[in-house]
Structure 1
Amino acid sequence: MTDDWASLPPQDAGFAADLGDKLDAGVRSGLLRHLHAVLVARSGRIVLERYFAGQDESWGRPLGRVAFDAATLHDIRSVTKSVVGLLYGIALDRGLVPPPEAPLLASFPDLADLATDPRRSRLTVAHALTMTMGLAWDEQRPYTDPLNSEIAMEAAPDRTRFALDRPIVAAPGLRWIYSGGAVALLGSLIARGAGTILPDFARAALFEPMGIRTFEWARGRDGIASAASGLRLRPRDLLRLGRMVLDGGRWNGRAIVPADWIAASRTPAVPTGDGLHYSRLWYIGDAPVPAFAGPQAWMAGFGNGGQRLWVMPGADLTVVTLSGRYNAPDAAVTPTRVWREIVLANLDRP
């Protein structure tokens, strides 16, 4: 595949010919709200690409009404976590970071006092990669609330200490607790091992080899890039990352992320409690597809406001939705409807 995406009529890719019309009708009817972009690719070609206009923001900073197109950068919020998962796999392959089974606190000698707690000393890198550290973390609060744990971490003088000294609420490995703090620790390990800041490592190791030349990465008050939610990408570049994952870590025949890391990321490690699973900063589930005899497995990155990157290997399918429904409890409704009722429901053949 070249840097430029080729297009294919929906019917030639196994979709209903009126796929785009159905999306447009959903938007006009008000059933699909706050969308900024929808992209669908199958077999490496774009079969649907729509852009809209709407209110947007950049990591909480209002941008006003934006008319989106293929060149517009967009917050991907917590899909950033899934990108950091890919970066950790690259860094591990290069010998820059400790393996999943390594003790987590051993990599932070400046926090040696925390390792004196035998319960905390049991933490491993794998517990951070699967968000099973068993430490208290509350991102159920709105991200406008200073008591939200990610917001509190960004305000703390030392984000790594903040993430690691939370109260222990479960034994490591037993309970999934959504945690931007876990990802901040992984981002710190990558930056320390690479000897550079996280965005620069991402540029050299992941983005430039894939032809992704434009991105932004928001930084906290301490100047450190937010590994949990700070990345801004163009829609097609997010789709590009999904296609690379679908292809087992390869782009244009070049190995970008080790295949075994991608395979492990696709393998459920821990239930999230809502019917999904999680592994190496990716959500994992399955969904019925009319064109197939049974449900098809998918993996995805989810982000605040309706940001989604879906990858369904069995259907050779990659889908991106970008939206402006930040901090709203119903933000997942529209991207989920696009995924299930527009994309999967209109896939007519394997």
Structure 2
Amino acid sequence: MTTGPLASAQFEWRSINPADAGFAPDLDERLDKAIADKRAWGLHGVVVTRMGKLVLERYFAGEDEVWGAPRGSVAFGPDTLHDLRSVTKSILGLLYGIALDLRKVPAPDQNLIAQFPECAAAATDPRLQRLTIAHALTMTLGFDWNEDIPYQDPTNSEIQMEQAPDRLRYIFSRPFISDPGTRWIYGAAGTELIGQLLVKGVGHSLPDFARANLFDPLGIGPTEWTKGFNGQPAPASGLRMTPRDLARVGQLILNRGQWDGRQVVSSDWLAKSFQPYVPCDEQRRYGYFWYSGDLQYGQPPHRPITHWIGGFGYGGQRLFAMPDLGIVVAITCGNYADEQQWMPPVRVVRDVVLAGLK
């Protein structure tokens, strides 16, 4: 389903020369060189903003897909929608915070299994009674869940959940491999549960609630939300949006939840969302469906460190917000099933954007 703004805020990205935004004037050339040197590949769109102004915007042609269905070669442009994949999870986190402020959903410290009484009979492991909504938001449920294998593999846990006749029973019947809250295990289980809580609490579909409470206030244009095997918009990975509009979400983060004089997402929720509750690996930490970390940049011996907040999606979809620098980077890629798909976005941020700072 495609939806567009009903009463969008009066905001359009205004361009600024890189040199006037504190960058080297050859930012475009630096991106071209990264591509020519094969350090960045499969790029579909790159949008860089600083202090609310557009510094770099580039689009490319390439093979693409929608949730695994091939689209062939697409000539991308400012208005071309793109799968965000699991960046959807991060936006879902914002929506849950909005619904919480509206008192439509339970708080993170509330018992999780109690929100799904239909699954109470399956709750035989006593650890299920210890689960909270925060465990779903931070991917620390502790369930045996494997999305580290290709999504084309039928043993992938998300694919098994999609194909299960009862998603909730599938999730809550997974065996524990760690105690709740002790280990980050990536997967769609938490987002499926949060998505269902959100829809049940607000009484609207994900696209409708997002449009009225987040997308319209930000002036975001048309979006799509791909449906899962159950016919419902997929809360884990279904959102499609333009890189320009994804950058608006990043700017909202820099604005501490404010947009056009309105507090769209509470600053308190954002602060909780970006706390490093659990490590993902040596570089990344995880909050309420948002990653965070630090990047060093510049030339020796003076190499400052900048903090970033980000949403990551399969195939190389990325949103980075760097509050201390006032920078937002939105990237879309077509590197699905590429084992090194994480490299191009990191190199664009590190070798082009941060290396281009004066």
What is the aligned partner in structure 1 of residue 292 from structure 2? 284
- What pairs with 1:1-350 in structure 2 (closer than 5 Å)? 2-290=10-298, 294-348=304-358
SS at match of 2:293: strand
Instruction: Tell me, yes or no, if the aligned pair for 1:142 and 1:327 is still in contact at 8 Å.
Output: yes
Instruction: Tell me, yes or no, if the aligned pair for 2:85 and 2:237 is still in contact at 8 Å.
Output: yes
SS at match of 2:64: strand
What is the Cα deviation at residue 224 of structure 1?
1.6
Unmatched 5+ stretches in structure 2: 1-8
Instruction: Tell me, yes or no, if the aligned pair for 1:114 and 1:120 is still in contact at 8 Å.
Output: no
Instruction: Tell me, yes or no, if the aligned pair for 2:78 and 2:244 is still in contact at 8 Å.
Output: yes
Q: Give the TM-score normalised by structure 2.
A: 0.95
Give, in whole Å, the separation in 1 of the partners of 2:291 and 2:46: 20
Q: Give the TM-score normalised by structure 1.
A: 0.97
What is the Cα deviation at residue 342 of structure 1?
0.5
Instruction: Tell me, yes or no, if the aligned pair for 1:51 and 1:69 is still in contact at 8 Å.
Output: yes
Give, in whole Å, the separation in 2 of the partners of 1:213 and 1:341: 30
Give, in whole Å, the separation in 2 of the partners of 1:119 and 1:29: 51
Quick one: which amino acid aligns to residue 103 of structure 1?
A: N
Tell me: higher relative CO, structure 1 or 2? Use CA pairs within 8 A at least 6 residues apart: 2
Percent pairwise identity: 50
Give, in whole Å, the separation in 1 of the partners of 2:119 and 2:274: 32
What is the Cα deviation at residue 293 of structure 1?
6.3
Quick one: which amino acid aligns to residue 20 of structure 2?
A: D
Quick one: which amino acid aligns to residue 319 of structure 2?
A: L
Q: 1:140-193 CA deviation, whole Å, 9 max, x = no partner?
A: 110111111111111111222222221111110001100111111000000000
Quick one: which amino acid aligns to residue 112 of structure 2?
A: L
Give, in whole Å, the separation in 1 of the partners of 2:89 and 2:182: 21
Q: 1:227-285 CA deviation, whole Å, 9 max, x = no partner?
A: 11111001111000110011111112211111101111222111113331100001110
Instruction: Tell me, yes or no, if the aligned pair for 1:215 and 1:232 is still in contact at 8 Å.
Output: yes
Give, in whole Å, the separation in 2 of the partners of 1:334 and 1:239: 18
Q: In terms of mean alpha carbon deviation, does 93-102 or 247-256 score higher?
A: 247-256
What is the Cα deviation at residue 114 of structure 1?
3.0
SS at match of 2:47: strand
Quick one: which amino acid aligns to residue 176 of structure 1?
A: W
Quick one: which amino acid aligns to residue 148 of structure 2?
A: Q
Give, in whole Å, the separation in 1 of the partners of 2:221 and 2:45: 20
Give, in whole Å, the separation in 1 of the partners of 2:28 and 2:10: 24
What is the Cα deviation at residue 297 of structure 1?
1.0
Quick one: which amino acid aligns to residue 314 of structure 1?
A: D
Distance verdict in 2 for CA 1:125–1:322, change over 3 Å: same
SS at match of 2:324: helix
Give, in whole Å, the separation in 2 of the partners of 1:164 and 1:339: 38
Instruction: Tell me, yes or no, if the aligned pair for 2:135 and 2:181 is still in contact at 8 Å.
Output: yes
Aligned length: 348
Instruction: Tell me, yes or no, if the aligned pair for 2:227 and 2:238 is still in contact at 8 Å.
Output: yes
SS at match of 1:89: helix
Quick one: which amino acid aligns to residue 101 of structure 2?
A: D
Q: In terms of mean alpha carbon deviation, does 226-235 or 271-280 score higher?
A: 271-280
SS at match of 1:119: helix
What is the aligned partner in structure 1 of residue 4 from structure 2? none
Give, in whole Å, the separation in 1 of the partners of 2:10 and 2:36: 34
SS at match of 1:309: strand
SS at match of 1:314: coil
Give, in whole Å, the separation in 2 of the partners of 1:221 and 1:311: 32
Q: In terms of mean alpha carbon deviation, does 26-35 or 303-312 score higher?
A: 26-35
What is the Cα deviation at residue 2 of structure 1?
4.1
